[in-house]
Structures are given as C-alpha cells and as structure tokens.
Structure 1
C-alpha cells in the first residue's frame, strides 16, 4: 500500500448549516504537492436500512429529494444521533420513516458516498423480524412506504425512480447476504 500523503495545511473554506468544506494542502511521498477540497462530516454518521418484511418483500420509501428536485424511491435512511449505535439509530429511524421496528438487526457494511472529495459515510443494516411501531419523525410530509420485490432485484433497481447509488448498492449487498444466510432468513 502506498504511503499516505502528508497534510501540510488544513483550512475551512466554506461552511453552511449542513456542510463544511475544508482545503487540504498535501505532499505525496514522491514530493508532489496538491490542494484537495473535501466536504466534511458534521456528526456521528448516518444509517441506511434494508427492511425485509418477508422472503420477497423489501420496504422502500418514496420521498422528496432536494438534489433531484423531485421524488424518488429509496431505502429509508437517517442520521445517527450522538450517543446512539448504528443499530439503535437504524431501529429508531425505521420506526419514524416506515412505521416498523426490527427484532433482528444485522450490520452489513460502512460505505462512503464519494470518498474522493467527501468524508460522509453511511452504515448499511438489514432489518428483519419487523413489527408495527411508529415514532414521530421530522419529515415535512408523510413518507409513502412502498413494498417491493427483492427477488426481482435487477427489475427493481432499473425502475426510473430508483436512482440513488447507496440504495442500489445496499439492495445488491442485502440480496447476496440473504442468499448466503438463507437458513437464518425469515
């Protein structure tokens, strides 16, 4: 593995209510110097849940996305509050967004959204043995919960309204994990 570059200088160059951008002055092991910019994480991270209702049904949500300026179909997700584990945050967020809790939670993987210039990461968790329970959430409007067939995965991710890379990656990882752990599946 290559030697990591030295950080010669770090400075915050922009800050908003949600984001902070830092400039990194780097020197690589061969002496080359470059300036990188990165979006920094503002908290303990986030969770993305793959709620499995039964052998073939994954629960997705249709909600407004500001980046798209439109609605899209994705897996539920949310921020980890300070002091929460990813599992606790995932179960809370699932109750807020989908109206279910999970008796069985399996942490799958931590993924980074765009590591070339973003520090943001998200923990992917499989949520099984679901039971109805709703907590009040912070969404501006009710979220539509959409049951989808995970057995027709390619057809699902090719739908025009399924555009989020995190959702697509998590669905493929979850489907593979469920296949390997069929004896433990619902």
Structure 2
C-alpha cells in the first residue's frame, strides 16, 4: 500500500464565522501534482441519546435553516473552546430538554463529513433522567419542541424523513441493535 498523504503547501483562512471557518489549501498529492482543498474547521460537538426510565427517546424538533424545514433530532450542541465533551453533553441536555442525567456514557465519536470538514461529534448515552426544577435555558437564537418517542416511532420518523440527520439515525440504529441483541 502506498502513501496517500497530501502535503499542505499553503493554507489561507478565507472566512471566519461564529461557528465555522473556511480554509483554502494548496496541497501536493501523492503523485506529486498539486490540487486545492476547501476545508471547514469546526470546534466539534456532542449529541445525546437520552432514554427515559420508560424507554422513551428524548428528541427535539427544530427548524434547520440549511434544510429550510424542521427535523426531529437527539439533543446536541457545539463544544465551547476547551470544554470537555461530557460537560458539554450535560449542559446541552439540560438546555434543550430540561433533563439532567444520573448516568452519561460516551458511545462513540465520529467525523460528520471528512471530505471537507473536521467536525467531530461525541455521541453520549444518557440514562437516569430527571426533570430539573429550574433548568438552564436555550440560547437566545434557539427554539425547540420537546418530544419523547418510542423506538418504533423513531424508526417510523426515519421512514417519514422527520428524522433526517446522521447523528440521530445512528442513535436510533444503535438502539435497534441493542434491542436485537437483548432478544438473543
């Protein structure tokens, strides 16, 4: 197997926003030729598969401007600079759902779109949920509707394209796998 690395010759930040930055890179390919890469830099995020004691999945419905529609998702949010993913997960769970959890376990971390972005999502499973009396509030530009649905309903939401994002579909499939393994 040969070397597949691309050497960065030059990198220029051409946009820096509140959440992402865009870099245009000149690279040397493994065959010695040159090419350009457009790379989005992202601070990373967390997502929380929160399951109630009666096996309901806690979801939020929110409008996603990039899609021009609402979708139903597991709670999630961007890491603040230097923030530990587990602390971020607890914060986002409380802000978006009003729940706190007794048990929080990292399930997996994955890159969302490695062809052009370095965003990594840390997916946690939260159990032992209790509603907080005075939970932290959503960000001022964030609006959500809370839903608690069964696994069967979540599978139907995927079929109906109400759930239409990778992190949530991944979480639902994880629960399906756990259910199948428990039946063995």
Q: What is the TM-score with the length of structure 1 in the denominator?
A: 0.85
Aligned equivalent of 1:69: 68
User: Following the alignment from structure 1 to structure 2, what is the Cα–Cα distance between the partners of residues 22 and 142?
Assistant: 30
Q: Could you say if the C-alpha distance between residues 84 and 19 of structure 1 is closer, same or farther in structure 2, counting changes exceeding 3 Å?
A: closer
Q: Could you say if the C-alpha distance between residues 179 and 104 of structure 1 is closer, same or farther in structure 2, counting changes exceeding 3 Å?
A: farther
Aligned equivalent of 2:110: 111
**Does 1:40 pair with 2:48?**
no
User: Following the alignment from structure 2 to structure 1, what is the Cα–Cα distance between the partners of residues 140 and 124?
Assistant: 21
Deviations 1:80-135 (A, max 9, x none): 22343211111111011011011111101112121101111211111111111121
Unmatched 5+ residue regions in structure 1?
none
Q: Could you say if the C-alpha distance between residues 65 and 27 of structure 1 is closer, same or farther in structure 2, counting changes exceeding 3 Å?
A: same
User: Following the alignment from structure 2 to structure 1, what is the Cα–Cα distance between the partners of residues 124 and 27?
Assistant: 35
Shifted more, 50-59 versus 121-130: the winner is: 50-59
Alpha-carbon shift at residue 139 of structure 1 (Å): 4.5
Unmatched 5+ residue regions in structure 2?
none
**Does 1:124 pair with 2:115?**
no
**Does 1:49 pair with 2:48?**
yes
Q: Could you say if the C-alpha distance between residues 116 and 105 of structure 1 is closer, same or farther in structure 2, counting changes exceeding 3 Å?
A: same
Aligned equivalent of 1:163: 164
| Partner-residue secondary structure (3-state), 2:86 | helix
Q: What is the TM-score with the length of structure 2 in the denominator?
A: 0.86
Alpha-carbon shift at residue 2 of structure 1 (Å): 4.5
Shifted more, 111-120 versus 154-163: the winner is: 154-163
Deviations 1:138-165 (A, max 9, x none): 1546521111111455323212321112
| Partner-residue secondary structure (3-state), 1:169 | helix
| Partner-residue secondary structure (3-state), 2:31 | coil
User: Following the alignment from structure 1 to structure 2, what is the Cα–Cα distance between the partners of residues 50 and 111?
Assistant: 15
1:56 touches 1:151 (CA, 8 Å); kept in 2? no
| Partner-residue secondary structure (3-state), 1:18 | coil
User: Following the alignment from structure 1 to structure 2, what is the Cα–Cα distance between the partners of residues 29 and 40?
Assistant: 23
Q: Could you say if the C-alpha distance between residues 174 and 123 of structure 1 is closer, same or farther in structure 2, counting changes exceeding 3 Å?
A: farther
Aligned equivalent of 2:58: 59
